[in-house]
Copies of this chain bind each other. A is one copy, B any other.
Amino acid sequence: MATIDHVSPLAPARFPELPEIAGARFATTEAGVKYAGRKDVMIAELAAGTVVTGVFTKSATRSAAVLDCQEKIGRSGDQGAAIVVNAGNANAFTGKNGVQSTKAVTNAVAQALDVPEERVFSSSTGVIGEPLPHDRITAKLADMAASLSPQNLPDAAEAIRTTDTFAKGAARVIQTSIGEVKIAGIAKGSGMIAPDMATMLVYIFTDAKIERAPLQAMLSELNEKTFNSITVDSDTSTSDTLLLAATGQSGVDVTEDAAFRAALHEVMLDLAHQVVRDGEGATKFVEINVQGAASEGDARTHALAIANSPLVKTAIAGEDPNWGRIVMAIGKSGAAADRDLLTIKFGDILVAEAGWVSPDYSEDAGADYMKAQTINITVGLGLGGFESTVWTCDLTHGYITINADYRS
């Protein structure tokens, strides 16, 4: 495991204030699953009546915990619920033992918190292919249950980190006509990030009141525009999990509330951007907007081809306004494009139009622009009315350093 000895230069200035969510309590511990001397396990206890929804990795080699969550997530239930997460070991590709470890952890949490096992959702993140020493987790559960508090969500954000260089949190408080609703979320993720879905663990809590089906629909749709629209290295984890729990304890029904939906979108986008900002070795935050596509799928295909191109990402790392590599990425994506209709902009600078460099473009202006920490690339295809926005980071020596000795 590489030592993380610095915080990403793209990190937010500070961890945000997270409001307490009525009906949700948290605890963390140092279980020593893999790391020593740091918190590595978190649990969330969710009051009776909490609705739990989720989105998971589509990887064909997804982990035992993900499969277990997927089996449980579709069920309604009025009893209490729980979430348990460990960092350091993904319990993925661990065969039948992996299934048994997940079962052991969720069963023990169910006992410790007195909730049905079918309402206990677990995640494991870290190294693939090593047996999960689940006894180290279950041994700590009684102490954790005794220390549950609604104020411990920031600690939970710390406990779920692996190669993250900073803890990730986001929150919104919304005033509706019938009362106040709170949303607070945490995330981990820095490498192995790509749709679908963006590889990470995300846990969002709200005191809003809403049924399972509409909340799940809202989560799935917003996921496409947030966590499924970020990429660090095009690699996808076996453990991606996004859980959203609504305790209902505010009594405010948000089923038709546009402000709630907008606030949830903001929390999800904030967390998604933080994952990109913690991209392994990242020094630039990059927004890629493709417009004028013949279809939504084409827009997304082009945007991801640009965002995942090693040549585009290394050019950005080198502060090189190498728009030729963007043309290359569009060309290789397989989606419809007409070379002679392309326009490319860096921020507000028109770089290329009508199949060639713009007569007004100056290389000096492009080079100046690339020195910024946030880079906006806009591509116009001139073929139709569809667009897509994705976010990524640059590809640097830092990525190689972190990933060439992550495990050995």
List residues of A whose CB falls within 8 A of some B CB: 57, 59-62, 90, 92-98, 127-129, 191-192, 194, 233-238, 308-311, 314-315, 317-320, 322-325, 327-333, 335-340, 342, 352, 354-357, 367, 395-397, 399-401, 403-408
Taking the closest CB of chain B, its distance from the CB of A311, in whole angstroms, is 5
Query: Quick one: closest B residue to A129, CB to CB?
Result: B324
15 A-B residue contacts at CB 8 Å? A57-B331, A61-B342, A92-B327, A93-B355, A129-B323, A129-B324, A233-B311, A234-B309, A235-B309, A238-B331, A314-B399, A318-B403, A318-B404, A320-B404, A399-B400
Query: Could you tell me the distance between the alpha carbons of A62 and B308 in the complex, rounded to whole angstroms?
Result: 20
Residues on B with C-beta less than 8 A from A327 are 61, 92-93, 128-129, 238
Residues on B with C-beta less than 8 A from A352 are 93, 129
Query: Could you tell me the distance between the alpha carbons of A357 and B127 in the complex, rounded to whole angstroms?
Result: 13
Are A320 and B61 in touch, CB under 8 angstroms?
no
Are B61 and A337 in touch, CB under 8 angstroms?
yes
Query: Quick one: closest B residue to A194, CB to CB?
Result: B332
Are A328 and B60 in touch, CB under 8 angstroms?
no
Best-surrounded residue of A62, A308, A395, A396 (most CB of chain B within 10 A): A395
Taking the closest CB of chain B, its distance from the CB of A240, in whole angstroms, is 10
Are A356 and B318 in touch, CB under 8 angstroms?
no
18 additional A-B residue pairs with CB within 8 Å, beyond A61-B327, A233-B311, A238-B327: A61-B330, A92-B324, A93-B339, A93-B352, A95-B340, A129-B324, A235-B325, A235-B329, A237-B328, A238-B331, A310-B310, A314-B403, A314-B404, A315-B406, A318-B405, A319-B408, A320-B404, A322-B408
Residues on B with C-beta less than 8 A from A354 are 95
Residues on B with C-beta less than 8 A from A192 are 311, 328
Query: Could you tell me the distance between the alpha carbons of A328 and B97 in the complex, rounded to whole angstroms?
Result: 19
Which 8 A-B pairs give the minimum distances between C-beta atoms?
A128-B324, A61-B331, A318-B404, A59-B331, A95-B356, A236-B332, A314-B403, A95-B355
Are B95 and A408 in touch, CB under 8 angstroms?
no
Are B238 and A405 in touch, CB under 8 angstroms?
no
Residues on B with C-beta less than 8 A from A338 are 60
Residues on B with C-beta less than 8 A from A308 are 234
One complex includes copies of this chain to the number of 2
Are A128 and B325 in touch, CB under 8 angstroms?
yes
Query: Could you tell me the distance between the alpha carbons of A233 and B324 in the complex, rounded to whole angstroms?
Result: 16
Query: Quick one: closest B residue to A363, CB to CB?
Result: B408
Are B320 and A406 in touch, CB under 8 angstroms?
yes
Query: Quick one: closest B residue to A320, CB to CB?
Result: B408
Best-surrounded residue of A317, A318, A401, A405 (most CB of chain B within 10 A): A318
Query: Could you tell me the distance between the alpha carbons of A261 and B278 in the complex, rounded to whole angstroms?
Result: 51
Taking the closest CB of chain B, its distance from the CB of A57, in whole angstroms, is 8
Taking the closest CB of chain B, its distance from the CB of A124, in whole angstroms, is 13
Query: Could you tell me the distance between the alpha carbons of A231 and B340 in the complex, rounded to whole angstroms?
Result: 28
Best-surrounded residue of A59, A96, A395 (most CB of chain B within 10 A): A59
Query: Could you tell me the distance between the alpha carbons of A318 and B352 in the complex, rounded to whole angstroms?
Result: 39
Taking the closest CB of chain B, its distance from the CB of A90, in whole angstroms, is 8
Are A320 and B405 in touch, CB under 8 angstroms?
yes
Query: Could you tell me the distance between the alpha carbons of A194 and B308 in the complex, rounded to whole angstroms?
Result: 14
Query: Quick one: closest B residue to A317, CB to CB?
Result: B404
Query: Could you tell me the distance between the alpha carbons of A320 and B401 in the complex, rounded to whole angstroms?
Result: 13
Are A129 and B356 in touch, CB under 8 angstroms?
yes
Residues on B with C-beta less than 8 A from A236 are 328, 331-332
Query: Could you tell me the distance between the alpha carbons of A314 and B398 in the complex, rounded to whole angstroms?
Result: 11
Residues on B with C-beta less than 8 A from A324 are 90, 92-93, 127-129, 407
Query: Quick one: closest B residue to A239, CB to CB?
Result: B328
Taking the closest CB of chain B, its distance from the CB of A254, in whole angstroms, is 34
Residues on B with C-beta less than 8 A from A237 are 328
Taking the closest CB of chain B, its distance from the CB of A2, in whole angstroms, is 10
